[in-house]
Amino acid sequence: MRPFVYERPTSVSTAIAMASRPDAVHVPPTGADTQFIVGGTNLADYMKLGVARPERLLDLNTLAEPALRQIRIDDDKIRFGALVRMGEAADNNDVRRRCPVLADSLKFAASGQLRNMASLGGNVLQRTRCEYFREISWPCNKREPGSGCAAMEGSNRQHAVLGTSDACIATYHGDFAQALVALDATVDVEGPRGRRTLTFAKLHKRPGETPDIETDLAADELITAIEVPLAQWSSRSRYLKIRDRESYAFALASAAVALDMDGETVRSARIALGGVATVPWRAREAEDVLQGKVLDEATAQEAAEAAFADARPREHNAFKIPLGKRTLVRALLETRDMKG
Amino acid sequence: MSDAKISSGLSRRMFMTASVSAAAVMPLVNSPTRAAQPASAKPAEPRDLSAVSMRINKQTYNLALDNRTSLLDALRDHVGLTGTKKGCDHGQCGACTVLIDGKRVLSCLSFAVMNQGREITTVEGLASADGDLHPVQQAFVDHDAFQCGYCTPGQIMSAIGCINEGHAGSEDDIREYMSGNLCRCAAYPNIVAAIVQARDETRRA
């Protein structure tokens, strides 16, 4: 591991000032010399592997602002401070009651220990588990731009079928992000150039030609809060996660679903797919199929076909297409059968 | 993964005596140490050692550590508490589980320097002074909840966390919330039985 300076900023503005650099807008945060750390569950791992090589860590656990550690629930929204731990949010009874898909996407992620460590702000920024990204001896366009992609012709069972490019097929493995992108969440970001709010769907970038640029954030910007609007569909919502083993594994396929129903007819559907795409994946085509229709096995299947119409499999991951469709169909029907 | 060699050549006993003492910084390092503070006369260098003070099993330890040292390595190699085990060292197996401020976490993914002022509990801190085992330890013995035993300290610490969190309500819950602790001997059924017993005893207490 590269030696690093360790520092403890005491406020958001200090942390940003310490991370600020003139060329911050040109360096992807993941490649910046100065990086923020909270739980360290992703960053410490990647530092041990030599994938992340910061020369300075700013420990955000010493930030004083109380709102960073609070979950605030109003009639029309839930606001999570960025330092709230996954476990605390998953165990919050009001979050579960008002919006089960949020609680379940956290409960079925990682392990009890990791959920006690990992912050929500850090969790949404977790980096891919692509085996070729993780091992520095392989070519990887995400880790080493221009070096190539060993996954294309390698062992790519875990890899994405949606949102891929010729440069990268690495899966975005997070679960919470699927609920957030489905529910039109927003992210509050602070940086030396001011404060901004972006829709969660804009936070992550598809790999395209530049898979090293993973998010819309600059290296000196900090997520301070995540806000989820509550609406008719929030309480009738569900996260279904399919894995190689029943617990403590990344999704092979998952679906975050929220439904606003008028009897048996779908007024509005919110759908995101995990384990199958390069970024948190909103399946708007599937939502459009369901709008105004009676939700039954046939229409759920139609929605699933639409969701995967543009899927592009590689040698070992073609199974994710039928698996992803079946996961979505089951999630839709189970969500339909929940009490609204 | 073998027992720690202390670079100064002092024995572990001497080392521990030094580190448990009230001295501000252990006398075992020849590089200058600094408190990890943003404001300082001389800019921090990546290779500087950082002073970190934490309570481990109710004793205060003042350590001077390379920032790269994980809490796991600090416990095993610097403090001499080798009950906490190193399995994967990447947050995948749970063998290194300890409690920080009462919550179960993975010590391999926590930089030691990030634990300034925290209260750490390891498996060595569970039994009472007169040798009575913690209810979870006793339950693991009663149910033969291990074979090789390497994962056991992590299982026990995680089980304590699981029970305290209220996640040991049913056997299904126990399996779900203990899934971060792998046992390659597959003693899982006995581990679940042990946690059920310990949960019931904890509730009665």
pLDDT in tens, A269-328: 999 999 999 999 999 999 999 999 999 999 999 999 999 999 999 999 999 999 999 999
A57 contacts chain B (CB < 8 A): yes
Evaluate if residue A338 carries a pLDDT over 60. Answer: yes
- A7 and B37 in contact by Cβ < 8 A? yes
B45 contacts chain A (CB < 8 A): yes
Tens of pLDDT along B3-33?
A: 333 333 334 433 443 344 433 344 344 344 4
Tens of pLDDT along A144-161?
A: 999 999 999 999 999 999
Percentage of chain B beyond pLDDT 70 is: 80
B180 contacts chain A (CB < 8 A): yes
Q: What is the mean pLDDT of chain B?
A: 86
Q: Residues near B67 by Cβ (< 8 Å), separated by ≥ 6?
A: A3, A4, A5, A6, A57, B36, B46, B48, B49, B50, B111, B113
Residues 117-156 of B with CB under 8 A from A: none
Q: Where does the pLDDT of residue A176 fall: very low under 50, low under 70, confident under 90, or very high at 90 and above? A: very high
Provide the pairing of β-strand A253-262 with A237-242. Answer: antiparallel
Q: Which residue in chain A is spatially nearest to B182 when comparing CA positions?
A: A248
Contacts of residue A6 in chain B, CB cutoff 8 Å? Answer: 36, 44, 50, 67, 111, 113-114
Q: What is the CATH number of domain A237-336?
A: 3.30.390.50
Q: Which residue in chain B is spatially nearest to A41 when comparing CA positions?
A: B109
Intrachain domains B12-123 and B135-204 with the same fold: no
In terms of Cα–Cα distance, which of B136, B74, B62 is closest to B108? Answer: B74
Evaluate if residue A86 carries a pLDDT over 80. Answer: yes
Reported ipTM: the value is 0.96
Contacts of residue A92 in chain B, CB cutoff 8 Å? Answer: none
Residue in the structure block whose two tokens are 């074979």: B147
Domain boundaries, chain A: 5-58, 237-336
Provide the pairing of β-strand A56-59 with A71-73. Answer: unpaired
Percentage of chain A beyond pLDDT 70 is: 99
> What pLDDT shows up at residue A180?
98
Report the distance separating Cα A272 and Cα A257, nearest Å.
Answer: 7
Domain boundaries, chain B: 12-123, 135-204
> What pLDDT shows up at residue B47?
86
Tens of pLDDT along A224-241?
A: 999 999 999 999 999 999
Report the distance separating Cα A64 and Cα A136, nearest Å.
Answer: 37
Min Cα distance A55 → chain B (Å) is: 7
The answer to whether the beta carbons of residues A228 and A150 sit under 8 Å apart is no
Tens of pLDDT along A101-118?
A: 999 999 999 999 999 999
Superfamily of domain B135-204 in the CATH hierarchy:
[2Fe-2S]-binding domain (1.10.150.120)
A210 contacts chain B (CB < 8 A): no
Report the distance separating Cα A160 and Cα A5, nearest Å.
Answer: 36
CATH topology of domain B12-123: Ubiquitin-like (UB roll) (3.10.20)
- B46 and A5 in contact by Cβ < 8 A? yes
Min Cα distance B148 → chain A (Å) is: 22
> What pLDDT shows up at residue B203?
85
Report the distance separating Cα A8 and Cα A203, nearest Å.
Answer: 26
Cβ contacts below 8 Å, chain A against chain B, sum to 106
> What pLDDT shows up at residue A339?
82
In terms of Cα–Cα distance, which of B134, B132, B107 is closest to B120? Answer: B107
> What pLDDT shows up at residue A28?
80
> What pLDDT shows up at residue A24?
58
Angle between helix axes B152-164 and B135-142 (nearest 10 degrees) is: 120
pTM for this structure?
0.92
Q: What is the mean pLDDT of chain A?
A: 96
**Structure-derived torsion over alpha carbons of residues A274, A285, A201, A334, reported in degrees to the nearest 10:** -50
Q: How confident is the model over B176-199, as a mean pLDDT? A: 98
